[in-house]
Amino acid sequence: MTSSTGQSQLSAALKERARLEGFDPVGIACLPGSSRLQMRTAALQRWLDAGFQAEMGWMAAPRRLDARTLLDGARSLLAVGLNYYVSESRQPNSLAIARYAWGRDYHRVVNQRLRRIGRWLESQRPESRWRVCVDAEPLLDKAWAEEAGLGWIGKHSNVIHPQRGSWMVIGHLLSTEDLVADQPAEPRCGRCRACMDACPTDAIREPFVVDSRRCIAYHTIENRDEQLPDLIKAGMGPWVAGCDICQDVCPFNQTELPTNQDPEVQPRPWVLDLSAAQVMQWDPATWDQKLRGSALRRIKPWMWRRNAASAKSVDPPTVSSSEIR
């Protein structure tokens, strides 16, 4: 068996192992990446220079500029997507929570499954080393997902898959193995600006550039100030934890999308039928019980009350399909 044949077989087997863990799409990229990856890295620096990261100082971590600094000898990575689109919907006149957080904390889910894949890889190549990266690690995760062919980065800055839309969280497994790379995804947003036009706070300042200082998701999750800015209060509608508006209106999310039956992404019942009155009564024990094992624990009880005080309960939006250009 030639070395190239062995690499191809290992790469195919690794991707199949990822699919068995519930990931789809999956892809492989080689380090240091193509010229497009360099373009995305330069764009990150411009974004930081403009102050669009707000108080998220961790986005400026120097290691984010080169994935090879995260694992000595890293030569490739496996990129995976976990679909979190489910058939259930938010109840009318309830407060809104971003879909990614309806189920179990995706950091834990993706991390645990990628670790199983890493151990499998090590069983096949005992000398290999690997490292799991979810979005808490200093990696340009969306850029590497695009590089590995999972989808392209849309104008709202989320990764879009042509058949699955943008309802997925992503993770990566860095490896010292030489693997066979997939083709990077080609952008397909064209002239569409549905996400830009729909944002009530005009947070998408230009295609692919989101100003966190104007973003409802940033302020409801990361902002530790006692009061939300007036701009956010005026535009947040029912959103108390994240915001899906830019994804809701994306034409690639208007098609018949596959739903995931995975128990770990299914919504907790209270998430779909939440009122401001309920939130205002949460004490630390109630908060702990409801948010155990949830990504939403980042939002502390007082922040939930702050957000709910400014939100307006309205029916979920009805979005008509629009032409993909």
Residues involved in catalysis: 135
Expressed in angstroms, the distance from the first to the final Cα of the chain is 46
Give me the residue label for tokens 């690639």: 252
Contacts 24+ apart (CB under 8 A), 59-63: 61/138, 63/138
User: CA 7 to CA 263: how far, in whole Å?
Assistant: 34
- The C-alpha angle with vertex 153 and arms to 100 and 130, in degrees rounded to 5, equals 75
**Count of residues making up the chain:** 325
With beta carbons less than 8 A apart as the criterion, state whether 318 and 296 touch.
no
Pairwise CA distance, residues 129 & 15, whole Å: 17
Q: Which residues pair with 204 in a beta bridge?
A: 210
Neighbours of 119 (CB within 10 A): 10
- Measured in whole angstroms, the distance separating CA 240 from the mean position of its chain's CA atoms is 18
What are the residues whose beta carbons fall under 8 Å from the beta carbon of 30, sequence distance 6 or more? Answer: 75, 76, 178, 179, 181
Secondary structure class of 36 (helix, strand, coil): helix
Query: How would DSSP label each residue in 214-225?
Result: G-HHHHHHT--S
The structure tokens 């397909």 sit at 188
